[in-house]
Amino acid sequence: MRSLTQAAKAFVDPTRVRVLAALLEGEMCVCELCDALRMTQSTLSTHLAVIRASGLAGSRKEGKWMYYSLLPEAREPIRSLFQFFGHSTLRRHPSLAPDAARLRRRLALRADGACRVGMRTRPSLRPIHAKKNHE
């Protein structure tokens, strides 16, 4: 039996709420989530580990891509929680709408329904504390 306390950990962090909202849209790979949510892979992986440990999501590997999705039995309860708290859809909530727009653009790059782009590097994803190399 899943622990309610463990599952609740997935919802106590705003970043994990964004990840869960994105996963309500369907299965996606880490690089798609990184681009859509504007997160580094290490940050996203930390949050995905908590969500998986909560028993709400699972993962599968396909080639070099790792895909995450909500477990089928968790999808409707999560959707209901979002609706209860006024997050009826990812696209309609003001704080989640930018994520939804980026997610739609990123998913449009799929080939045969799968990610084929990989990680895209942007200056906005570099850690703030990174030092520039002046040579």
- pLDDT digits 0-9 by tens, 9-32: 999 999 999 999 999 999 999 999
Q: Is residue 99 part of a domain?
A: yes
> What DSSP letter does each residue of 54-88 carry, written as one string?
TTSEEEEEETTEEEEEE-HHHHHHHHHHHHHTT--
Domain that holds residue 86: 4-107
* Residue range 56-90, pLDDT digits in tens: 999 999 988 899 999 999 999 999 988 888 766 55
Which CATH number is 8's domain given? 1.10.10.10
Number of domains in the chain: 1
Give the chain's mean pLDDT: 83
In the prediction, which pLDDT does 26 show?
Answer: 93
**In this structure, is residue 116 part of a structural domain?**
no
The angle subtended at Cα 49 by Cα 72 and Cα 21, nearest 5°, is: 50
What is the structure's pLDDT at 13?
Answer: 93
Asked if residue 127 is part of any domain, the answer here is: no
β-pair type (57-62, 65-70): antiparallel
Report yes or no on 134 lying in a domain. Answer: no
Residue 51 falls inside a structural domain: yes
Residue 98 lies inside a defined structural domain of this protein: yes
Q: Is residue 49 part of a domain?
A: yes
Round to whole Å and give the CA distance between 21 and 58.
15
What CA–CA distances, in Å, run from 52 to 9, 45, 48, 71, 105? 11, 10, 6, 9, 26
Is 33 a domain residue? yes
